[in-house]
Amino acid sequence: MTETTTTTTGTGGVDQELVRAAARVARTRCRGDNHTMAAAGRADDGRIVTAVNAYHFTGGPCAELVLIGAAAAQGVQRLVTVVAVGDRDRGVVPPCGRCRQVLLDYFPDLEVIVGTGDGIRAVRVAELLPE
């Protein structure tokens, strides 16, 4: 499941519109056990692309990886910010190790919105990986 909207990037801080987009998809499209995570990405042209994971016991793709393919299919050249949100009101969820590496390989300057004890913040994807 993917959705696309055209918007402008927020100024400074966390892209709250992006977080809301991912949360909306998690709330409305993640039902049952096959789709439990939603991701949203801001393209360099301002569009928001969304996607959900495809759970499978063999290790189906995470929402962030589906997002990369959905963005490419919609003509997005570059994502500038991404966020993942869990179903059942789990909020912002950081990418797994595999997704961190793939996101870095595809978009080295990418910002990733992650949750912290006192809220959420945007960090460069490289900061999420060991040196």
Residue of 3, 17, 64, 131 with catalytic role: 64
Cα separation, 20 vs 99, in Å, equals 21
Query: What are the residue ranges of helices labelled H in the chain?
Result: 16-29, 63-73, 97-106
Which runs of E-coded beta strand occur in the chain? 3-6, 37-43, 47-52, 79-86, 91-92, 111-116, 119-124
Structure token digits, residue 41: 């990405």
Verify whether residue 64 is a known catalytic residue: yes
Q: Are 85 and 77 in contact (CB under 8 A)?
A: no
Query: Which residues carry out catalysis?
Result: 64
